[in-house]
Chain A
Amino acid sequence: MGELAAVVGIGQTKYASRRGDVSIAGLVREAAGNALEDADLGFKDIDAVVIGKAPDMFEGVVMPEIYLTDALGANGKPMLRVHTAGSVGGSTALVAASHVQSGTFRRVLTVTFEKQSESNAMWALSSPQPFSVHLNAGAGGYFAPIIREYIRRSNAPSDIGIMVAVKDRLHGARNPLSHLNLPNISHQEVEDSMMLWDPIRFLEACPSSDGACAMIIANEELVSESPKPPAWILGGAMRSEPTIYAGRDEVNPRAGRDCAKEVYAQAGISNPRRQFDCAEVYVPFSWYEPMWLENLGFADQGEGWRLTLDGATSLDEGGDIPWNCSGGVLSSNPIGASGMIRFAEAARQVRGDADQHQVENAQLALGHAYGGGAQFFSMWVVGARKP
């Protein structure tokens, strides 16, 4: 992994369905400015900028990074754009981290964003192509049959997804940045919400959000120049696989398992459920919590749903391994930033800086993102203690 690096600053915008008050530049600047303030630094202290977002077709601005240079203080500095579909927020953080871990740069600003109100991601993901049936299915339509297969394999009770939807919204109600604020959401309300892509109901799906997330990653030498506790990066990994290949297991993708294995090896994790204090995992549709609990080794095959059922992943129920204390993707989803929010929220936990959704004395946390047809994975492990 190279040299030690740590998160020394985190900045986010408030997530909302529409940030009509700012341009794209204004949106990314808000997050970058908040991260610099959190780190007690200015743009002059930054050596390079790494930016990420989901496909350009989402806003219809091709290569937006070019016009965002001065909004991010990158004039005269190296600037790099990352893209790996929905996992881009995570992979952008990892590229920024490796800029520092390699010893090439001492301190890097990394920013991700999406302004979904400028467009319609569902259209962008399922644009009508000639000579094939137009399903207009979006991500939900793609994942629904995979979830159906998970339910069949695992014999999970049919309302596990509803439980995740309620749990993550209750977590989100603790987070003032959350797009959705639903402190009174009920099991019945989720169950009664419109069936969008059977078995995914409206309230079991993520919202469409505008927002940006930024982090400052510094090398060991510069960590002490920022006043708040750092989140040490103990491991980072990415894995990819094709959308379709013979024998592919879409329910439990090999790239996800391999990525987890790699990042756990780097960070010395042999029992994720016991060793982690919490995790921020990319769950855009409710059933992905039990599916990723298994894919990431927090539960045995076919047993992930039991953790949800038992409240193990709930902060409100005092679970032993709370997942998505910030409210997760189910509460805020500026797609390009969603992965970085997971990484940043994991870091906030081990910095002891997560306010109302803080896991008490969190020392070790997992940040996770996935994208494409569940084929791109990025993960990092952050800790309060310097290794």
Chain B
Amino acid sequence: MSILLVQFLRVEGLVEDLFLQKEYELGFTYTRSTGPVVGKFLTGLKNKKIFGNRGSDGRVIVPPMEYDPETFQPLNDFVQVSDAGMIESWCWVAEPRPAHPSAVPFAWVMIKLDGADISMIHHVVTDEPSRVVTGARVKASWIDQPVGLISDIRYFVLEK
């Protein structure tokens, strides 16, 4: 086939009729070994408890980290924190798309849980978007049968 003809078909958007182009899906179910730190956090969620750990500078990090960001030493001093806290920052999503964690309007939020020094990312669902502000109080809404994943916290809700 002449190059000119291929170029013509390309311009006309017909080149795919000449050379096969097709979607294909590649998938594999991996395993995750979470280890003693992230594993502790996830196991806590299963019991509707939130654990952080204390860094070398005394700050409570939530979710817990395996190694101290300053000294690189393993962090083993676990601290249970509250499932309620304060919004540090937020981003309102007025029109959720299918990939979002909520079908109704929600806010991505950085939440500093009571007892924690580092804020954690999650989302808040509310029908009062004007109340989503830095400093607002929120509390976890747990699913009925937690399995040990971050989605065990269905979302956070604004405290009254």
Contacts and interface: CB of A to CB of B under 8 A. Distances in A.
Interface of B is mostly: loop
Contacts of A19: 33
Interface centre among B31, B32, B72, by most chain A C-beta atoms within 10 angstroms, is: B72
Contacts of A59: 30
A21 interface: yes
Contacts of A119: 28, 30-31
B137 to A, nearest CB: 32
Interface string B21-53: 010101010111111111100000000000000
Given A29-B67, A70-B65, A131-B20, A23 B28 contact: no
A130 B20 CA distance: 11
Contact of A23 (B24, B33, B72): B33
A183 interface: no
B35 A21 contact: yes
Interface in A102-132: 115, 117-120, 123-124, 127-131
A361 interface: no
A19 B34 CA distance: 11
A59 B30 CA distance: 7
Interface of A is mostly: loop
A70 B68 contact: yes
B53 to A, nearest CB: 13
Contact of B67 (A21, A71, A123): A71
B88 interface: no
A25 B67 contact: yes
A117 B33 contact: yes
B119 to A, nearest CB: 19
Interface of A: 19-26, 29, 43, 59-60, 70-73, 75, 115, 117-120, 123-124, 127-131
Those 9 A-B pairs whose CB atoms lie nearest each other, nearest first: A23-B35, A73-B72, A60-B30, A130-B24, A70-B67, A26-B35, A118-B31, A43-B72, A20-B33
Given A26-B66, A75-B70, A119-B31, 11 more contacts: A19-B33, A23-B34, A23-B38, A26-B35, A29-B66, A71-B67, A75-B72, A118-B30, A118-B33, A123-B28, A129-B24
Interface of B: 20, 22, 24, 26, 28, 30-39, 65-70, 72, 74
6 contacts: A21-B35, A21-B36, A22-B33, A118-B30, A118-B33, A130-B22
